[in-house]
Amino acid sequence: MNKITFIIPCYNCESYIVNSYNKLRKEIRKLNIKYEIIFVDDGSKDKTFYILNNLKKKNKYIKILRNKKNSGKSFSVIKGINKSKNNKIIMIDCDLPYLSSLRKIIFYLKKNVDLIIVNRKLKNSSMINKNLSFYQLIRYLIGALIAFINLRFLNIKIVGGDTQAGLKGFIKIKNFHKIKFISKKFFFDLELVNLYSLRKLKIISIKCKYNIPKESSIKIFDIKKNLLILNELFRVIYNYKKI
């Protein structure tokens, strides 16, 4: 199997990035794969970039990219993908959600499946902790709303419309660097699924166990930021509805 590139966007994660790296490296060793890890620091204001540089000194397979300012997860992921020389990509959030599903992602990449996504809406997927706080409940409902919008307005063949889970594997399509993505902040995942759907490439959803995050950089009562999220979502939908 060719080398796999892991793309990990990071923002203000000094408290857990070393632990995440150690857990990921342990899984990679178990799976016995050739790899590189590209961390993309999205203008962190804490010591994340300094810590990443220390990790790089210990592992020659680590690359670090840095945005001068906080530019968004989508911008960071796309930047990382464009810097990778490998065609097989795994993108995962820096807190390593769904890490237990990594083995299946790699299994299907070995089978040359074009896109593999973790899907929380599959019948056999399950929420680990169902005693949700008010914040977690609102996050869950927002996710359900986005999934509904995806199904209602876009012709995607994804069970439940769940495109946003933070672990995906895919084979980079030709001239990827020339594609003009709409999303800079929140919805690269949705664009990727739409792009591969429109090209009739093979997409597989896999089940997972998951938790609803207890906190996030996205605040549910931050009206300005939530309007930005909705604005980007509908710009993405409008763009793909035209195609």
45, pLDDT greater than 70: yes
* Interval 156-198: pLDDT, tens: 778 888 999 999 999 999 999 999 999 999 999 999 999 999 9
Least confident of 138-152, 164-178, 197-211, 220-234: 220-234
pLDDT bin (cut points 50, 70, 90) of residue 138 is: confident
pLDDT band, residue 216 (cuts 50/70/90): low
pLDDT given at position 31: 92
CATH number reported for the structural domain that contains residue 234 in this entry? 3.90.550.10
Q: Which residues pair with 35 in a beta bridge?
A: 4
Q: What is the per-residue pLDDT for 122?
A: 92
Return the SS3 of 172.
Answer: coil
Which pLDDT tens digit goes with each residue over 94-135? 999 899 999 999 999 999 999 999 999 998 898 888 888 888
Per-residue model confidence (pLDDT) at position 90: 98
pLDDT recorded at residue 149: 85
Q: How confident is the model at residue 88 (pLDDT cuts 50, 70, 90)?
A: very high
Provide the token pair at 81: 């993908």
pLDDT tens per residue across span 67-86: 999 999 999 999 999 999 89
Query: Residue 242 — very low, low, confident or very high, per pLDDT cuts 50/70/90?
Result: low
* Average pLDDT estimate for 2-20: 95
Domain extent for 170: 4-242
> Cα torsion at 160, 165, 171, 176 (round to 10°)?
100
Single out the residue of 83, 12, 6, 19 nearest to residue 42, CA to CA: 12
Helix, strand, coil abundance in the chain, percent, nearest 5: 45, 15, 40
Q: What is the mean pLDDT of residues 55-61?
A: 96
How many structural domains are present in the chain? 1
Calculate the average pLDDT of the chain: 90
